[in-house]
Structure 1
Amino acid sequence: MEKEIWVPVTFTHIEYPKGDTLGMILAWFSLLPSFTVISFIPVIVLRRDLTTIFFFMGMFVNEGVNQVLKRVIAEPRPSRTASTVQWSQYGMPSAHSQFAGYFAMFVVLLFYVRISVVTFIIPLAKIWKHVLAAVTVLVSLAICYSRHYLKYHTEKQICAGFLVGLAIGAVWFIILEKFAGPYFPIIASMPICEMLLIKDYSLIPNTLWCEYHCIKTEMRSRAKKYIRPE
């Protein structure tokens, strides 16, 4: 009787050696791409921002490129004799590492190109972008290392995936800045976007500061209507 092959869904099936604490931690890092993709759905529903939607679309473009490269290169994953999984997917380049590279490049460029800071309101504003950028890069590298430690990919497959992800993240951000972004105000003013409350923040240098003060002003205005003199 032919042995049945179980096919893991991308980004979901993660194994680690039993009793290996570091392996367990890195396995959770390997799951971060899945959590990130899922978390973008409520973020898009709540914010309805064109830049966020464009970033999300780039994740699927990145994954599509990865699947094409895997089938063209057709390099197998490293063998793991203790594994209970019989691999049915190719390993070059690593999808997790490519996702990590795309995410890190796009987010870091977003921090330094798109987001400016009102320094006289936030005293530590000059360093927060550097801290967030460093954390983003470190988490991305941890995802890449998890794929090596858990023996899902070779070092070559991980490095290739990360470099491809960096390139796609940079290209996708350039497309955003030079080609798609300039049309966002026009797209946001379309009737369908207005009906769906889809917004464009590209012309606002600090969306956090803007949202905070807009909401604060609106709350003060509404509070006055409910406060009655005694």
Structure 2
Amino acid sequence: MSGNTGYAEIATFFRRQIADGTLAPGDSMPTQKQVRQQFGASITTVNRAFQMLKAEGLTAARVGQGTTVAERPRVAATATARLRRISRTGRAYGPKERSVDHQARLLSCADPDVAAELDIELHDEVLVRSRVYMKGNVRTIASFSFINPRGWAAVPESLSPEPLERFWQEDYKERTGRTTVKLPERRGARLAYPYELAMLKVDAPPNAAVPVLVLLNTWHDEDGPLEHWQDVFAPGLWDSDEE
């Protein structure tokens, strides 16, 4: 990338490097002079890009250190951002991120919303894969994957609670010859269920009303809905679509 590069493009370049962990929290950003030379941009353009990154909370100015990548303990990536990161880098996790408490269970689908998302009858059998994402020592997201029976029938290893080597839909597409399409990510707020608070280790009084951010993603193939994701963010957490 060079020559007539705009400030938004420069900001996007570094935003992705931060998201992918190429530039980790605490790392020094290149100097504005270095960025000017890299992109062939004016000092005004580079300064504007740096101001944008700072305004987004991605970078911070430190005395004697210049501009560094900021720590963001209360920000977690959306599912869409995680998938984009995997596509770009092959890495499932961002800086200081990991997942724990993996489970996979075949359950009767008692949630009418999930049944509608998967276009199955209420109480039909569904595969539920769950895990908790952590950033450092902070539990950030309780994540649930609800997989249509024809999905886990084609990829039986998805029944294992262990983390899979790659996104199971890649195996599904190879084995069935079908393509999958993700609908636009949706988000909203609701009160957390007790089991979600337990997964996130939120210390709340019994029967307390704890609002949480929830992100929904659903994939289809030519036969209809295949998989539905629900990401429940810990209270007080912000989502990031660029991590």
| TM-score in terms of structure 1 length | 0.21
Higher strand share: 2
| TM-score in terms of structure 2 length | 0.20
Larger Rg: 1
